[in-house]
Amino acid sequence: MLDAKKIEELAGKFSQSIPPSAKAFQQDIENNFKQALQSLISRMDLVTREEFDVQKKVLARTRDKIDALEKTIHQMTNN
């Protein structure tokens, strides 16, 4: 998931694009945008890079074990 710093950055960029006539509402708009962005991201059910990397390693180890078991079974059935 995006960290708070990235959300702050996105909200800041968004608020910079607000026309000068709406600058009085800039803080409210920025806060609402941050809340909407956080809500959207949380509903997307994303994982962090760290979580992804851990699961990738687990999957690689599982694949290695399956390959070893397949080799063992193959050797047992060919004897």
40 and 54 co-located in one domain: no
Q: In the structure, what pLDDT confidence band is assigned to residue 4 with cuts at 50, 70 and 90?
A: confident
In terms of domains, do 41 and 68 share one?
no
Q: How confident is the model at residue 1 (pLDDT cuts 50, 70, 90)?
A: low
User: Nearest-CA neighbor of 27 among 38, 11, 6, 40?
Assistant: 11
Q: In terms of domains, do 9 and 42 share one?
A: yes
With contact defined as beta carbons under 8 Å apart, do 18 and 26 qualify? yes
Average pLDDT, the chain: 85
Start-end of H helices in the chain? 4-16, 26-43, 49-77
Q: 7 with 35, same domain? A: yes
Considering the domain architecture, whether residues 3 and 35 belong to the same structural domain is answered as yes
68 and 36 fall within a common domain: no
Same-domain pairing of 7 and 32: yes
Same domain? For 34 and 55 the reply is no
Domain that holds residue 17: 1-46
